Structure 1
Amino acid sequence: MGHAILGYNKAGEVIANAHFSMGNYNAGILYSLLDSQKFNAGVSGSGDSSVFTIQQIEKALAAYKVFINNEEPLIEGDYLNPDQTQILKFIKNCLATAQKEGSVKVLFA
């Protein structure tokens, strides 16, 4: 068991992914940043998905910057632990897709 959180573009291609073991608290951080706790089934995601707007993903990125207490632009791997980097990459990839396509779909498995 574990959390697989996947971002999809409108063509149905995976553009972002984050994987956490069932006991990893960082999964909860990503659910929280996306304001998606309702999709957290404890040991894994609920299997449901949601569509996020550009503004929602921008809000998640801004909240993440506050969470890690960073005013500077974030660079993947820059003093972040592997899970922090994974979360940052996920949000940035989702944001790029949302900016290009108007929204991004996220599956919580």
Structure 2
Amino acid sequence: MGHDISGFNNTGDEIAYARFSMGNYNSTILYSLLDANKFYAGVSGSGRSSTFSIKQIEKALNTYNQLYGNSLSERDWDLKQIQDFIQNCLATAQKEGSVKIYFG
């Protein structure tokens, strides 16, 4: 069990990935930033996916930067993976208009 969250482009290629063990509370940070708490199922994601607009991903990145942007250190691996995930999703959304995210 755990949270395997993947971002996909329009052709179905995985463009972003974040992994959290089932006991890692940092997974809730990503769900919250994406306003996707309905996909949180405790020890894992719900197994469902949703399409996110450029605006939604930009909002997630802006909120991330406000909360965590200047606080990264070497021990903040989860925050770095969250940042990378959102940035990769944003790059795809900017190219294609949206990005699909799967919450497993």
Letter in 2 for 1:41: A
Between 59-68 and 99-108, the greater mean CA deviation after superposition: 59-68
Superimposed CA distance per residue, residues 69-107 of structure 1 (whole angstroms, 9 cap, x where no aligned partner)? 54xxxxxxx635110110000000000000000000000
Q: Distance in 1 between matches of 2:12 and 2:85?
A: 16
Superimposed CA distance per residue, residues 47-74 of structure 1 (whole angstroms, 9 cap, x where no aligned partner)? 000000000000000110111154xxxx
**Aligned-residue RMSD, C-alpha:** 1.4
- TM-score by length of structure 1 reads 0.90
Q: 2:98 aligns with which of 92, 98, 103?
A: 103
Residues 23 and 97 of structure 1, relative CA distance in 2, 3 Å threshold: same
Query: Is 1:62 aligned to residue 62 of structure 2?
Result: yes
Letter in 2 for 1:10: N
Report what 2:85 is aligned to. Answer: 90
Superimposed CA distance per residue, residues 14-43 of structure 1 (whole angstroms, 9 cap, x where no aligned partner)? 000000001111100000000000000000
Identity fraction in percent? 63
Q: Distance in 1 between matches of 2:78 and 2:20?
A: 8
| Correspondence list, 1:43-82, <5 A | 43-68=43-68, 70=70, 79=73, 81-82=76-77
Report what 2:10 is aligned to. Answer: 10
Report what 1:73 is aligned to. Answer: none
Gaps of 5+ in 1: 71-77
The count of corresponding residues between Structure 1 and Structure 2 is: 103
Gaps of 5+ in 2: none
